[in-house]
Structure 1
Amino acid sequence: MADQPVAASNKLDAAVLKIAGVIVLGAIMSILDVTVVSVALPTFQNEFDASYARVAWTMTGYTLALATVIPLSGWAADRFGTKRLYMLALFLFTVGSGLCATADSINQLIGYRVLQGLGGGMLMPLGMTIMTRAAGPHRIGRLMAVLGIPMLLGPIGGPILGGWLIDVASWHWIFLINLPIGLIALVYAWFALPSDSPEPSESFDFLGMLMLSPGLALFLFGVSSLPETATITATKVWLPMLVGALLVIGFVFYSFKPQHPLLDLRLFKNRNLTIASLSLFVFIIAFMGAGLLFPSYFLQVRGQSTLHAGLLMAPQGIGAMLTMPIAGMLSDKIPVGRTVPFAMVLIAGGFFTFTQVGVDTSYWLLCGSLFVMGLGMGGTMMPIMTSALKTLTHHEVARGSTLVNILQQIGGSIGGAVMSVILTSNLNNSTPIPGAVDPQTGKPVTEAGLAIASQLKPEILQQFPAPPELIRKGLEFAADSFASTYWVGFILVLATFIPIAFLPRKREVSHLDDDVAGDRQAPVIIH
């Protein structure tokens, strides 16, 4: 076969890099969209006269769409072909972006974001499949490093780009900018991606799909409603979580019966896959959950603009960009059990700084800590995933990585919801201002609430005049609330050292080497 010499090479040659250009372009477009929208939420509140909890569903709807398509990606790639499906995903994402820019209401915008998520959710899994077929199984570490580039550019460029577009143009442009990029990516994909012939050999598990996809979507819907209700006893939270959990549990028992289940839980018999999954799950709850609050601290406590908050987060992505390629090469040579613990020490050290934040904490110290965390992050996630993939056969690796990816999505949603609830609970303990009532909610205005509102909108002080010393007191309370929440994340980061201690410390024998390099099964990852 023509691609066998490519697989045999130790370096990613020009042919592989040409294909990588398509995949990285699509992934950047998808991941940037997540971070760009995150900084636009206050703008959506003003434009559509909606609450923060309501506009947050522009993010949640996208995530729910991802959870729905993840289990289907592997089967659909076999049934319809990776090139066709990848181009369809690009088309759906681009069309969804255009529709988002035309939204006249928050409900329309949420619906269009779901359409975007159906396309965006398939871009990374399919891209990884295409890349692995082109590069061969011998270079998974280097491959992970290449596919990690868009994951780094998202946190760096997304908030900066979103803040700039909203400042100089309007919120519509955070979606319109995807139209020319999407068209270029479609044309590029048509010419650069190799043609493949669909070879469906496994029956589709419809019963499994009817349990797993709705189960995941309902469970994540309930979890994502926690910040809005601030209590797990709310019907909007516990009911979908319960129904979703029952459907997922039902799928767990059912999945051992069919020969080709939608999600192959039998792969958890593989020790490396189990340890890697558990390590990433705990890590993502801690790091991604608390990490979402880093920009909020800059905005709400320090009074930075959206653009400046994005710039202050850039050192984290820069640090990861430096170490991820090195970690990718090392993971092909050195057992991850000998490298990942050192990377986790860097993450824990940088994270600790945020448990000490105050109103006047040095920006140099905070940015330096983010940079150190980025260095550790670049040496953690991809090597752990690589370790899991190396011990699976070529036929198993697509389904194995799908398992890990679903756990990552659940972990990220749980982490974000839990950290938001803890922060909200802490802030609500602030002292109420006598006689001050919010006309929209009817609730008393607290010192911390007023201080944060004045940082986001200075004109709010015209409605609720307050002396500078009261604002200062409220900001100090808010800073303490953020620090207390970061302590929870820091403890969870320390807990990640437990499963990481069981990662392999001896060189693993790669079962992928025993398979045919051009086998149709390939690993998939998502963001």
Structure 2
Amino acid sequence: MTEHTDMNGKPINRFAMMALLMVGSFLIILMQTSLGTALPTLMTAFNVDSAQVQWLTTIFLMVNGIMVPVSAFLTTRIPTKYLYLSALTVYTIGTGIAWLTPTSAFWMLMVARALQAMAAGIVMPLMQVVALTLFGQKSRGKALGMVGLVIGMAPAIGPTLSGWILDQKHHVFGMTWGGDWRSIFGLVLPLAIIVLLLSTVFFRNVLETKKVALDIRSLVESTVGFGLVLFGSAMVSNYGWSNFTWVIAPIIVGVLVIAEFARHQLHMEKPFLDVSVFKNKQFALTSALVSLTFIAMIGVEMVLPIYMQEVRGLSAFHSGLTLLPGAFMIGLLSPVAGTFYDKYGAKRLATFGFATILTGTLPFYFLTATTPTLYITCLYTVRMMGVAVTMMPLTSSAMGALRIDQTAQGTAVNNTTRQIAASLGTAILASVMQSQINNNLPSASLKGQDPLAYGAKALNASLDGFHASFLLAAGFALLALILSLFMHKGKVEPKAEKEN
């Protein structure tokens, strides 16, 4: 195909295709964080405890992480249009089930979340590969800048949007809407249906497909390995790192299975997931930096709203508003960063970006119970500016280090690494926070003897936990800043396909 035709040589409207891809992907990825602020409401509605309701997040992370490696096979085997339509259909069905779930059937909501996560695991890598194909190698940075707008903004807007929906009823076109958890799903359901219908008309097959046989052993090993690692890291928030049954054992077994999976892939003529791309030092380095960027973004997005609600006493909606300017910064700068990458490469942007993230994170260590909300919002916006100018240029550089025929596999590997790193990084930040709080909490006896003193010490214990978590996040940013100095200068151009 040429830059403006599909696999059959027919002309395509690449801007309509890209718009539908971005909107559909935005709706799907939005669900990754949208239920965070709704969990207390769901606990009451379904009469479940905090451990049970947390599975709505855990199941999404697990299924999403399992599907990302599978996406490389699906992208190679299934025509682009039908793969995207299938992902949208699965997401629409999952969202419809969630919207209709009776409060006596919590398991149905779990199934709905799993279906949504399946779609997310397919769409995130697919969006990158299709964007690169539609806009060609010369506009690689611009294309992935648009992808970064979606991947960065959707998770950042999720908590604010769900908080706004839950906070109160809204009157739209004479209809009363919002104020309950169903409206979170009810908002995106009609939009998903519209995107699905339009995609049947405007979407085209733009990626080459091959009749590749599915290696069952690889599928089982990747599912079990990545699933166990993600499960163990998700259980940290409930049981802590010292729990062998739910945390240590799953992670150890998962890592061993992944090691065997990687060994098997290296000996396959046509691997299920081509881990040999890590032999490329530039790809390995930039993929590690992408993972650190995601930890910096997702980890603090998780910790900061907890501080705003528990220490500052803000509502879910107002704590979400604190993050909103940062989300807009992602949307504003991601396309700009892509254009700069096309001109200057990733190293300057990465060094500046990680320095900015570090600058915006360190002051969080000094937050108090009375720190002005505006100050926190400004710091978070500075952090997200660093994320915006870092994430997609690094991804562009990683893909540019590979041969053109490795793009789909490289994208899947890059996304898998990023997904696991984000999950583990978030678990580490949360566990450090909770550990510090538990270690510094006053004895229960003080509560009866002097309630005021107990309250003051408990507040300080919470602040100690948040400070430790933010300091660790700054440490991740510092590590990334140092590693970015070893990057290749200038724009990395992809090599030609390997000759048969």
* TM-score, normalised with respect to structure 2: 0.90
Aligned position for 2:173: none
Aligned position for 1:29: 27
State which of 478, 485, 493 in structure 2 corresponds to 1:501. Answer: 485
CA distance in 2, matches of 1:180, 1:268: 41
Aligned position for 1:321: 331
Aligned position for 1:41: 39
Aligned position for 2:445: 434
Q: Structure 2: which 5+ runs fail to align? A: 170-178
CA distance in 2, matches of 1:510, 1:269: 16
Question: In 2, are the aligned partners of 1:226 and 1:421 still within 8 Å (CA)?
Answer: yes
Change over 3 Å in CA distance of 1:295–1:420 after alignment to 2: same
Aligned position for 2:151: 151
Q: CA deviation at 1:130?
A: 2.9
Question: In 1, are the aligned partners of 2:446 and 2:453 still within 8 Å (CA)?
Answer: no
Deviates more, 1:55-64 or 1:95-104: 95-104
Answer yes or no: is 1:491 the counterpart of 2:475: yes
Question: In 2, are the aligned partners of 1:284 and 1:408 still within 8 Å (CA)?
Answer: yes
Deviates more, 1:15-24 or 1:103-112: 103-112
Q: CA deviation at 1:402?
A: 1.3
Change over 3 Å in CA distance of 1:465–1:16 after alignment to 2: farther
Question: In 2, are the aligned partners of 1:353 and 1:366 still within 8 Å (CA)?
Answer: no
Question: In 2, are the aligned partners of 1:322 and 1:375 still within 8 Å (CA)?
Answer: no
CA distance in 1, matches of 2:76, 2:306: 42
State which of 314, 317, 321 in structure 2 corresponds to 1:307. Answer: 317
Aligned position for 2:218: 208
Aligned position for 1:241: 251
Cα deviation 1:7-44 (Å, max 9, x = unaligned): xxxxxx99322111111111111122122111111112
CA distance in 1, matches of 2:344, 2:96: 45
Aligned position for 2:132: 132
- Local SS of the residue matching 1:95: helix
Deviates more, 1:348-357 or 1:187-196: 187-196
Aligned pairs, number: 481
Question: In 2, are the aligned partners of 1:287 and 1:493 still within 8 Å (CA)?
Answer: no
Change over 3 Å in CA distance of 1:148–1:507 after alignment to 2: closer
State which of 227, 230, 254 in structure 2 corresponds to 1:217. Answer: 227
- Local SS of the residue matching 1:503: coil
CA distance in 1, matches of 2:72, 2:307: 39
State which of 45, 51, 55 in structure 1 corresponds to 2:49. Answer: 51
CA distance in 1, matches of 2:415, 2:197: 29
Q: CA deviation at 1:137?
A: 2.6
Change over 3 Å in CA distance of 1:493–1:196 after alignment to 2: closer
Q: CA deviation at 1:299?
A: 0.8
Question: In 1, are the aligned partners of 2:355 and 2:481 still within 8 Å (CA)?
Answer: no
Q: CA deviation at 1:228?
A: 0.7
Question: In 2, are the aligned partners of 1:90 and 1:120 still within 8 Å (CA)?
Answer: no
- Local SS of the residue matching 1:259: coil
State which of 98, 101, 117 in structure 2 corresponds to 1:100. Answer: 98
Change over 3 Å in CA distance of 1:105–1:353 after alignment to 2: farther
1:320 alignment partner AA: I
Q: Structure 1: which 5+ runs fail to align? A: 7-12, 437-463, 517-527
CA distance in 2, matches of 1:502, 1:483: 30
Deviates more, 1:189-198 or 1:211-220: 189-198
- Local SS of the residue matching 1:189: helix
Change over 3 Å in CA distance of 1:198–1:364 after alignment to 2: closer
1:146 alignment partner AA: M
Question: In 2, are the aligned partners of 1:227 and 1:420 still within 8 Å (CA)?
Answer: yes
Deviates more, 1:273-282 or 1:402-411: 273-282
- Local SS of the residue matching 1:292: helix
CA distance in 1, matches of 2:384, 2:232: 31
CA distance in 2, matches of 1:160, 1:233: 33
Cα deviation 1:311-353 (Å, max 9, x = unaligned): 1111211222332222100111112112210111111000011
CA distance in 1, matches of 2:61, 2:245: 21
CA distance in 2, matches of 1:251, 1:5: 37
Equivalent runs, 1:406-421 vs 2, <5 Å: 406-421=416-431
Q: CA deviation at 1:124?
A: 2.2
- Local SS of the residue matching 1:355: helix
Cα deviation 1:149-198 (Å, max 9, x = unaligned): 22343245322220122222210111122220111011110111124697
CA distance in 2, matches of 1:435, 1:333: 62
CA distance in 1, matches of 2:446, 2:105: 34
State which of 432, 435, 438 in structure 2 corresponds to 1:425. Answer: 435
Question: In 1, are the aligned partners of 2:346 and 2:394 still within 8 Å (CA)?
Answer: yes
Aligned position for 1:475: 459
2:41 alignment partner AA: T
Q: CA deviation at 1:55?
A: 1.3
Aligned position for 1:9: none
Deviates more, 1:224-233 or 1:84-93: 224-233
Change over 3 Å in CA distance of 1:106–1:5 after alignment to 2: closer
Q: CA deviation at 1:470?
A: 4.5
- Structure 1 runs (4+) greater than 4 angstroms displaced: 195-198, 464-470
CA distance in 1, matches of 2:241, 2:333: 40
1:75 alignment partner AA: F
Q: CA deviation at 1:507?
A: 4.1
- Local SS of the residue matching 1:333: helix
Aligned position for 1:91: 89
1:114 alignment partner AA: A
Question: In 2, are the aligned partners of 1:227 and 1:417 still within 8 Å (CA)?
Answer: yes
CA distance in 2, matches of 1:195, 1:406: 24
Aligned position for 1:166: 166
* TM-score, normalised with respect to structure 1: 0.86
CA distance in 2, matches of 1:295, 1:155: 13
Q: CA deviation at 1:467?
A: 5.3
- Local SS of the residue matching 2:312: coil
Answer yes or no: is 1:180 the counterpart of 2:190: yes
Question: In 1, are the aligned partners of 2:145 and 2:393 still within 8 Å (CA)?
Answer: no
1:136 alignment partner AA: G
Question: In 1, are the aligned partners of 2:98 and 2:109 still within 8 Å (CA)?
Answer: yes
CA distance in 1, matches of 2:148, 2:293: 17
Change over 3 Å in CA distance of 1:105–1:434 after alignment to 2: farther
